Chain A
Amino acid sequence: MTFDQILFYVFSFWFIASSLAMIFSRNAAKAVLFLILSFFSAASIWILLEAEFLAITLILVYVGAVMVLFLFVIKMLNIDKSTLRAKFAGYLPLGLIVAAIIIAEMTLVLGGNQFGLDVVAAPARHGADYSNITVLAMQLYTTYVYPFELAAVLLLIAIIAAITLVHRNELNRKKQSISEQVDVQAKDRVRIVSIASSSKEAK
């Protein structure tokens, strides 16, 4: 077993294990943490595949931002424990069987006959001068400029969506209106209210 393989199996183990732990976790916050763990494993695998940029992106963007967002929401809504009572019901066995069959079928398809080393040889490792980022960047801004623009649109949608949906209009905002302040007059400030005297009422 080569070092590559050892690394691969170790990371794979953690990847799978933490993923399983994530879906079976009863606590949402813990689940997020397991997910982060599995993302780390994934990133490691990606590095084995010489996709350094993406691995880093996964950690930085995903773990750093997206997962934190998850945690934030969980904490904000305070749903990490209160509602979490796992009810796997009868679906788990069925689900596992289905999953097992699918995995088996996929394995049949994706197995050594099709993608073994004898069929698809492992490429030679790039040298130290290889920069994954450069390579990607070169293409990203040339060949893939159109998708890149589209990604921008996507993010714009995400922004609009998040604001539109979650933002509560003028709920707790106090806005200053300078023109109103300038135009203000005494009668706007003082209101004279005539109150019936108590003596009259007594009668």
Chain B
Amino acid sequence: MVSLSDYLILSAIIFCIGLVGIFVNRTNIITLLMCVELILVAVNTNFIAFSHFLGNEAGQIFVFFILTVAAAEVAIGLAILTLLFRNKGTINVDVTNSLKG
């Protein structure tokens, strides 16, 4: 049988991949957004695994809302990205550092 621990470790790995993805990837912002999605999927997996092993649906409900939020987030994220592209002609993260110090 697959233990809860296995699921949790899997999602931990995915979670970390998401985290690492964010800062190794400076090519463009769209990848950043995708990494965020990855993080959320990892968390979702956590919730679902717990929900399954606890026999409690609350976790799945939570996931449902997370998915909703993620979708909304993507919408806004892409909107911002579009604005960025309009302003700078690129979505390269390297050029968005006028605010610093």
Contacts and interface: CB of A to CB of B under 8 A. Distances in A.
Complex contact flag A–B (Cβ < 8 Å): yes
Contact of A83 (B2, B9, B63, B91): B91
A99 B21 CA distance: 10
Interface string B61-101: 10111011111111110111111010000111010000000
A19 B90 contact: no
A19 B1 CA distance: 25
A162 B76 CA distance: 6
Contacts of A16: 10, 13-14, 17
Contacts of B67: 54, 57-58, 61-62
The majority secondary structure among interface residues of chain B is helix
B69 to A, nearest CB: 6
A51, A58, A123, A132: residue with the most chain B Cβ atoms closer than 10 Å: A51
Interface string A43-81: 001101111011001100110011001100110010100
A19 B63 CA distance: 20
Interface string A1-19: 0101100100010011001
Contacts of A2: 1-2
B20 A107 contact: no
- Find the residue from A35, A65, A98 having the highest chain B CB count within 10 A: A35
Contacts, number: 241
A186 interface: no
B28 A54 contact: no
Interface string A147-190: 10001001101110110011000000000000000000000000
Contact of A50 (B30, B34, B52, B68): B52
Contacts of B82: 73, 77, 165-166
A103 B12 contact: yes
Contacts of B31: 22-23, 25, 28, 31
The 8 closest A-B pairs by CB, nearest first: A23-B21, A158-B72, A115-B5, A106-B12, A110-B8, A165-B79, A115-B4, A49-B52
Interface of B: 1-10, 12-21, 23-28, 30-31, 33-35, 37-38, 41, 44-45, 48-49, 51-53, 55, 57-58, 60-61, 63-65, 67-76, 78-83, 85, 90-92, 94
19 contacts: A22-B35, A45-B45, A51-B51, A62-B70, A65-B71, A66-B71, A69-B74, A70-B30, A70-B33, A73-B78, A87-B27, A99-B16, A106-B8, A111-B9, A112-B3, A116-B3, A136-B57, A139-B61, A166-B83
